[in-house]
């Protein structure tokens, strides 16, 4: 399928706050210090038998006058697993001196990364006491480590009813009091320099943890909507919480948490945060995830909320599962009715039963003051300057400030209700949120019609009808507008994102009641983001780990990707926020299908050592590759490969003027029926010829491996500056193993 493709790299500013500790006896020199992540390499002859030996060596890099100081220690973290190096408070001059020391590799100021911020188990085909949930024993025995804003331990989602004790390998700690942790919440630690407790004071971490592995909680709802039993993807998996955001997420804390989680014995890492980078070796989460993968830990990360722009995806490494966001088939309906009887279907989690169904005056905030550019976005300062909106329904544009804050501004200025209209960027992606006044959010197209109506009459009126929870939107899943898109900037031959999961209007645990209900701890909230889709896949990975304990992280990832759905509930191609067929750089392999992933037939496995020729093929220096594997590497003696040759369960091809033909091999491992035969099915991207040899794979036993070769040739009919997509599938009597093909025609 052809699609017009523009190479747009959006300007995304990620604030770099550098933490500066202050002390009563602070000197002017100390005020100039900032936290650096320092990478070092040890001589081949130097072997560290204890962590204290390693820490002592790290200290040797610090300025002599500071290394021995105990009052204001400069060393913040000494990393044992995720990388060879440490985090320390240094001045630029001290870093320059450090560069002269043998073994020094690099030192960069730490970044501060943003967070990427129920019915979904049923939507994904997970039902109690049957199917994959039952077969995987609900993730029993698997430990999911969640790096986020902490946790509210008293929430019923984290009760340990029916939970076994943690596995004997567990070495973690609970930095709450003893009674707050249990067999569900087996560990809780904090790393944020701003805090001294794992307690979640934001809500994000509680929400993501319960999405991944919350226990069954009956009667979960928000203002009576989305009523049902709330449960995470892997309800019998254990949770280990690592608080790294309070509210900002600094790299040194994230690395320290990953370092600790590896020692603690987690099986899955769920990381709903991150930022953009132009290479893999300078992304510390990517480096930490590599070590985790080497130790058999599955790492799931959110793709980011910078969509729908191209090249906006984060966490691009092939050893990370990068998760985009999509809708589910549940809507919390709130209908706007205009005075001309036009109806526009929107959503809102706040559905007051006593709100009048009579027409009310309607006003567009952007018309209140044409010289105030902020008025259209319903900034409090803009609305407070006028009394015009009192008793009226106010139309506000999305953007500028939080959607809930717009409603509060309208309410404070005397408005009765709000119609929130999407920007063109967000299209048809609508958030059902816990507004503070009667409200509905409408699509971009419907918003234009509402504003056209206001301009067409002297006395515009409207009303909002609240219709509650509706299940069965057969358009679902739809790719969320905010879900970050590929292509993969750091490694063009690896398709990203990998997979879609539920990330729009997800109901999960929340530390406080947004309904101001003080009589219960069973409090929930509905929020959206790839932060929400990531823990869905972390939970699915835990189920697969429980069901297949011998599978590697790459095998689990392959099973998820090759069994993904590419059509919606109406059996039509998955759509994007404009309700157009979604581009492959929005969907990746498709939408997760947990039950099919449990029995994929074939998997594309990758061993940790396979990544060395891949990294060398990215033209990284020996030292840069050595940063990943924490040992010396000589790429001139390694079998360097192009990134498209990695045994990945997808193909991402770029044809330039100089390159009209590319050939790659793949090796698949039989995990289905011992004696089985697979035939290839190819849907060729327009303008590209795809040839596979052999066309049949015959297996005689389990774990047998077979290789095939695929050649891509650009045809004369191919367009320019476009993206085309297709797929190849290996079909047997029982299985269908699908690999997407993305081709950029430069």
| Marked catalytic residue, from 39, 78, 116, 148 | 148
Neighbours of 465 (CB within 10 A): 15
**Angle, nearest 10°, between helix axes 530-547 and 204-213?**
30
Distances (CA, A) of 275 to 13, 286, 303, 607, 620: 10, 11, 9, 27, 21
What helix, strand, coil percent values describe the chain, rounded to 5? 20, 30, 50
User: Which strand ranges, in their side-by-side order, compose the sheet holding 34-40?
Assistant: 75-79, 85-90, 34-40, 104-109
Neighbours of 248 (CB within 10 A): 18
DSSP one-letter code for 705: E
**What is the phi-psi region of residue 388: left when phi exceeds 0, alpha when psi lies from -120 to 50, beta otherwise?**
alpha
d(CA 295, CA 259): 12
| Among candidate residues 213, 256, 254, 204, the one with its CA nearest the CA of residue 235 | 213
Note whether 182 and 239 are within 8 A (CB).
no
E strand or H helix at 189? strand 185-190
246's tokens: 């309070």
DSSP reduced 3-state for 280: coil
DSSP one-letter code for 746: -
Note whether 115 and 273 are within 8 A (CB).
yes
Q: 549: Cβ–Cβ under 8 A, 6 or more apart, which residues? A: none
Neighbours of 355 (CB within 10 A): 17
Concatenated DSSP letters of 498-514: -EEEE-SSEEEE-SS-T
| Marked catalytic residue, from 119, 155, 204, 238 | 204
d(CA 720, CA 4): 9
Q: Which residue has the tokens 């994959």?
A: 132
Strand 736-745 with 651-655, pairing? parallel
**What is the phi-psi region of residue 82: left when phi exceeds 0, alpha when psi lies from -120 to 50, beta otherwise?**
alpha
CA 193 remoteness from chain centre: 24
Is 148 an active-site residue? yes
DSSP one-letter code for 349: S
d(CA 216, CA 666): 41
d(CA 575, CA 308): 13
Neighbours of 356 (CB within 10 A): 12
Is 531 an active-site residue? yes
| Among candidate residues 239, 314, 233, 240, the one with its CA nearest the CA of residue 506 | 233
Is 306 an active-site residue? no
Q: 480: Cβ–Cβ under 8 A, 6 or more apart, which residues? A: 307, 324, 325, 326, 327, 429, 503, 504, 528, 530, 577
d(CA 342, CA 454): 12
User: Which strand ranges, in their side-by-side order, compose the sheet holding 688-693?
Assistant: 602-603, 661-670, 705-714, 688-693
d(CA 194, CA 509): 24
d(CA 83, CA 628): 7
| Marked catalytic residue, from 326, 528, 531, 739 | 531
Name the residues annotated as catalytic: 148, 204, 531
């Amino acid at each position: 399928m052809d699609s017009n493709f523009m190479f747009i790299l959006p300007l995304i500013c990620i604030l770099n706050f550098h933490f500066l500790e202050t002390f009563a006896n602070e000197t002017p020199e100390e005020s100039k210090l900032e936290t650096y992540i320092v990478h070092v390499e040890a001589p081949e002859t130097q072997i560290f038998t204890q962590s204290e030996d390693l820490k002592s060596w790290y200290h040797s890099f610090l300025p002599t006058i500071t290394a021995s100081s105990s009052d204001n220690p400069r060393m913040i973290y000494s990393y044992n697993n995720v990388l060879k190096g440490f985090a320390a408070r240094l001045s630029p001059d001290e870093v320059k001196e450090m560069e002269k020391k043998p073994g020094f590799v690099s030192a960069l100021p730490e970044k501060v990364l943003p967070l990427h911020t129920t019915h979904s188990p049923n939507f994904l085909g997970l039902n109690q006491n049957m199917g994959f949930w039952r077969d995987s024993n609900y993730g029993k025995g698997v430990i999911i480590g969640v790096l986020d804003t902490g946790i509210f331990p008293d929430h019923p989602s984290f009760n340990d009813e029916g939970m076994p004790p943690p596995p004997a390998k567990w070495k973690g700690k609970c930095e709450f009091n003893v009674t707050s942790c249990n067999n569900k919440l087996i560990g809780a630690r904090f790393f944020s320099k701003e805090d001294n407790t794992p307690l979640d004071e934001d809500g994000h971490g509680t929400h993501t943890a319960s999405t991944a592995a919350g226990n069954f909680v009956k009667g979960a709802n928000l203002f009576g909507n989305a009523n049902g039993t709330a449960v995470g993807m892997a309800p019998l998996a254990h949770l280990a919480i690592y608080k790294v955001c309070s509210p900002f997420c600094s790299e040194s804390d994230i690395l320290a948490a990953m370092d600790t989680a590896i020692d603690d014995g987690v099986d899955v890492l769920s990381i709903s945060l991150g930022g953009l980078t132009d290479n893999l070796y300078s992304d510390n989460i990517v480096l930490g995830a590599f070590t985790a993968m080497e130790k058999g830990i599955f790492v799931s990360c959110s793709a980011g909320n910078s969509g729908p722009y191209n090249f906006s995806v984060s966490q691009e490494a092939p050893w990370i599962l990068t998760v985009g966001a999509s809708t589910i088939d549940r809507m919390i309906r709130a209908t706007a009715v205009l005075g001309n009887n036009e109806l526009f279907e929107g959503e809102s989690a706040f559905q007051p039963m006593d709100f009048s169904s009579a027409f009310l005056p309607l006003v567009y905030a952007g018309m209140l003051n044409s010289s105030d550019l902020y008025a259209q976005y319903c900034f409090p300062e803009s609305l407070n300057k006028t009394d015009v909106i009192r008793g009226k329904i106010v139309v506000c544009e999305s953007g500028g400030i939080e959607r809930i804050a717009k409603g509060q501004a309208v309410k404070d200025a005397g408005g009765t209700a709000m119609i929130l209209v999407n920007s063109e960027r967000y299209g048809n992606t609508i958030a059902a949120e816990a507004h503070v006044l009667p409200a509905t959010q409408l699509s971009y197209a419907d918003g234009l019609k509402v504003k056209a109506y206001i301009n067409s009459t002297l006395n515009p009126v409207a009303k909002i009808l609240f219709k509650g929870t509706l299940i069965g939107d057969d358009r679902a899943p739809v790719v969320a507008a905010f879900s970050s898109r590929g292509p993969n900037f750091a490694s063009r031959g690896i398709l990203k994102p990998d997979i879609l999961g539920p990330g729009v209007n997800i109901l999960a645990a929340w530390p406080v009641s947004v309904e101001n209900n003080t009589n219960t701890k069973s409090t929930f909230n509905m929020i959206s983001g790839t932060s929400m889709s990531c823990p869905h896949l972390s939970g699915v990975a835990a189920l697969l780990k429980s069901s297949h304990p011998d599978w590697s992280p790459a095998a689990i990832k392959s099973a998820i990707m090759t069994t993904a759905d590419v059509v919606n509930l109406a059996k039509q191609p998955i759509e994007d926020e404009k309700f157009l067929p979604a581009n492959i750089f929005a969907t990746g392999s498709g939408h997760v299908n947990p039950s099919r992933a449990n029995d994929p037939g074939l998997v594309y496995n990758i061993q940790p050592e396979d990544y060395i020729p891949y990294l060398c093929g990215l033209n990284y220096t020996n030292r840069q590759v050595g940063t990943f594997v924490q040992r010396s590497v000589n790429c001139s003696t390694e079998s360097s490969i192009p990134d498209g040759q990695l045994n990945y369960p997808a193909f991402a091809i770029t044809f330039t003027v100089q390159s009209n033909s590319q050939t790659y091999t793949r090796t698949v491992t039989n995990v289905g029926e011992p004696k089985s035969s697979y035939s290839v099915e190819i849907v060729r991207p327009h303008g590209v010829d795809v040839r596979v040899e052999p066309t049949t794979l015959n297996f005689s036993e389990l774990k047998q491996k077979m290789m095939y070769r695929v050649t891509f040739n650009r045809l004369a009919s191919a367009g320019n500056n476009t993206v085309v997509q297709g797929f190849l599938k290996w079909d047997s009597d029982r299985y269908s193993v699908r690999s997407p093909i993305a081709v950029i025609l430069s």
